Amino acid sequence: MNHRRQFHHHRVRRRGNKGSPWTAYDPYWLEAEHAYSEHCDRFPERSCSPRIIEYPCREEFLMPVTREEVRATLARVPAAFQRDLQAVFLLAGTRTQLKVVCGDLFSYGFYWADCIFLHPFPLQMLCSVYRHSPKPSDLLDYARVGAEITTETDGTVVRFDRRALKKLYLQDVLIHEIGHHVDRANLGHPKENEAYARWFATEFGFRRTA
């Protein structure tokens, strides 16, 4: 069975709605598709472990993890779960992505075509104000990586530092997307796919790579 059409996006609105509907024009997808097209011709038919492909990050963004840190995290995940995973891309960010961030849309990354794509974090989002409190599950994710969460006059404020972002990307986002790779044959309801990937991130990210 060809799983290359499966597409799982780890999305979040800055106002706290993960998995929300996405616009038809997706600058995150466009950047990832371009990066994939530059490298896919050199991918082997079968892969035992993924390549890690890093692009220079734009100055308006922060990529909180390095190639070496991703490799060290993958080493703690059973090799069987990484079989046929072709690559992990650390992307650069684009000006168009900054425009949609101003419209409250952001993607940490996604799984597609047997690859994981990680988007850099916009510096302007290091301190985000949520007029409506994020979902409890989102707040749990932020709290368990060490983000500072306060309730202020303007709403719920979430502040990230580099250490918290690194934990979020390595222990949650990266492992979450590996969960989608492991679950790629399951063509059931998207909520089932997300529930499995969330469980996978908790089990193999927070509990085993801390």
SS (H, E, C) the chain: CCCCCCEEEEEEECCCCECCCCCCCCHHHHHHHHHHHHHHHHCCCCCCCCEEEECCCCCCEECCCCHHHHHHHHCCCCHHHHCCCCEEEECCCCHHHHHHHHCCEEEEEEEECCEEEECCEEHHHCEEEECCCCCHHHHHHHHHCCCEEEEECCEEEEECCHHHHHHHHHHHHHHHHHHHHHCCCCCCCHHHHHHHHHHHHHHHHHCCCC
pLDDT averaged over every residue in the chain:
86
Tokens linked to 192: 């089932």
The pLDDT score that the predictor gives to residue 9 is 52
The pLDDT score that the predictor gives to residue 17 is 34
Instruction: Tell which residue, 198, 159, 160, has the closest CA to residue 177.
Output: 198
Q: Which residues is 106 bridged to in the sheet?
A: 12
The pLDDT score that the predictor gives to residue 209 is 56
Percent of the chain whose pLDDT exceeds 70: 86
Q: Which of 20-24, 116-120, 204-208 has the lowest mean pLDDT?
A: 20-24
Tell me the mean pLDDT in the region 183-209.
Answer: 85
Query: Does position 14 have pLDDT exceeding 70, yes or no?
Result: no
Tokens 């969330």 correspond to 198
Tell me the mean pLDDT in the region 22-51.
Answer: 87
The whole-angstrom separation of Cα 66 and Cα 126 is: 19
Number of C-beta neighbours around residue 87 at 10 A = 20
Name which residue leads in pLDDT, 184 or 187: 184
Q: How confident is the model at residue 133 (pLDDT cuts 50, 70, 90)?
A: confident
Query: Does position 123 have pLDDT exceeding 60, yes or no?
Result: yes
The pLDDT score that the predictor gives to residue 103 is 64
Tell me the mean pLDDT in the region 143-154.
Answer: 93
The pLDDT score that the predictor gives to residue 2 is 30
Q: Which of 60-64, 68-72, 205-209 has the lowest mean pLDDT?
A: 205-209
Tokens linked to 105: 């849309």
Number of C-beta neighbours around residue 14 at 10 A = 19
Percent of the chain whose pLDDT exceeds 90: 61
The pLDDT score that the predictor gives to residue 8 is 53
Query: Does position 131 have pLDDT exceeding 70, yes or no?
Result: yes
